[in-house]
Amino acid sequence: MIKKLIALGLFSISMASFAQKISISPSVGYAWRLAKTSPDLSRDQKEYLKGLKSGVNFDVALRYEVKTGLLIGFKYSNYSASTSGRFSVADNMGNLVSANLTTKDNINFYGPELTLTNDAHETRHKFFMSAALGAMTYTSKTENIKGKGTAFGAELDFAYQYQISKNILIGPKLGLSGGTLSKFSYNGQTVELGDDQKESLTRLSLSAAATFRF
């Protein structure tokens, strides 16, 4: 009986120690897609697509402290943007066709993450550098037409956070996300994109971030 109690006590201590090494870091802010708009587009087309070049950026990372200053975890991020207006294109006969449209874009990222910090130093001013590799998905919906694609993606974050208490930190974060689509599917059809048609998903983000340690 005593051995069981000792074993249970050691297990409880171990689980408590494990929990104290876990943290969750959400952030929300704004992001800008860095891909250039094709110069072949008309002024109205460029103006319409301008609304998709910037939007809301959200991400969250669940981390485990392997040792002081080194964490591993899993990251999810989302970029969303929308635009509405009159969009004009020329049909096969050369006639100009226009309509009022609404387009909504979403870029999602999922992948493992490695984080380095200055936790080894006794200071409330904390710096974080994180790198993640994984899958990046892109969906674009215009009215009842939905397109989607998947690419290999990478994300890099640099953050400063002030430790306001033992378990809570807050501060700004600068992020860079990258990925390129070579295939795009819509209405059940998959299209191979040429070198001059590939969709760049690269974006720069600036967010307010927090870290909660347990």
CA atoms within 13 A on the CB side of 108: 8
pLDDT given at position 20 = 64
Q: In which residue are the tokens 């069981």 written?
A: 4
Q: Which fold has domain 22-213?
A: Porin (2.40.160)
pLDDT given at position 16 = 40
pLDDT given at position 120 = 85
Measure the CA dihedral 11/12/18/24, to 10°.
Answer: 150
Q: Do the beta carbons of residue 87 and residue 99 sit within 8 Å?
A: yes
Measured in whole angstroms, how far is the alpha carbon of residue 151 from the centre of its chain? 13
- With the C-alpha atoms ordered 120, 126, 127, 131, is the resulting torsion angle positive or negative? positive
pLDDT given at position 28 = 98
Residue in 181, 194, 191, 192 with CA at minimum distance from that of residue 107:
181
The amino acid that residue 120 corresponds to is A
* Prediction pTM value: 0.85
Which parts of the chain have pLDDT scores under 50?
Answer: 1-19
pLDDT given at position 141 = 92
Contacts of 180 (CB under 8 A, 6+ apart): 151, 198, 199, 200, 201, 202
Which pairing describes strands 199-200 and 183-186: parallel, antiparallel, or unpaired?
unpaired
Report d(CA 199, CA 183) in Å as an integer.
9
Report d(CA 147, CA 135) in Å as an integer.
17
* Domain boundaries, given as residue ranges, for the chain: 22-213
